[in-house]
Structure 1
Amino acid sequence: MKVKLLVARASAAGAQNVGDEIEVSSDEARRLIEAKQAAPVRSAAPQKAVKRSKAEKAVK
């Protein structure tokens, strides 16, 4: 699960800063969120491509 850190933290793997979005297990994510140390990251809906209309040609 992806979470956004609200506090800095360090682990054997390295340091993570406030605002970093990290991937953690769902159990760890739940613990971080309950402790107010992280917020869940909701995936945004994919943007849909907009079909372009053809340019109009000038008529003589």
Structure 2
Amino acid sequence: MSCPICGKDTEPKYRPFCSKRCADIDLARWLNGSYVIPGDIAEEEERPAEDRSGPVQ
């Protein structure tokens, strides 16, 4: 199996990655939103935030 980031052979300690560096690169991509699952926007996400909370009292 090869590392999904750089293509080198994987290291058992960091599997499926080859190093901590590649594991950290992958984590950063998840955290900054680089990886997304394609699909339709949910109804709640289409409305502005102030509309979701309901009427202001």
Structure label with greater radius of gyration: 1
Higher helix proportion (structure 1 or 2): 2
Normalised to the residue count of structure 2, the TM-score between the two structures is 0.24
Normalised to the residue count of structure 1, the TM-score between the two structures is 0.23
Higher relative contact order, structure no. (Cα contacts within 8 Å, ≥ 6 residues apart): 1
Higher strand proportion (structure 1 or 2): 1
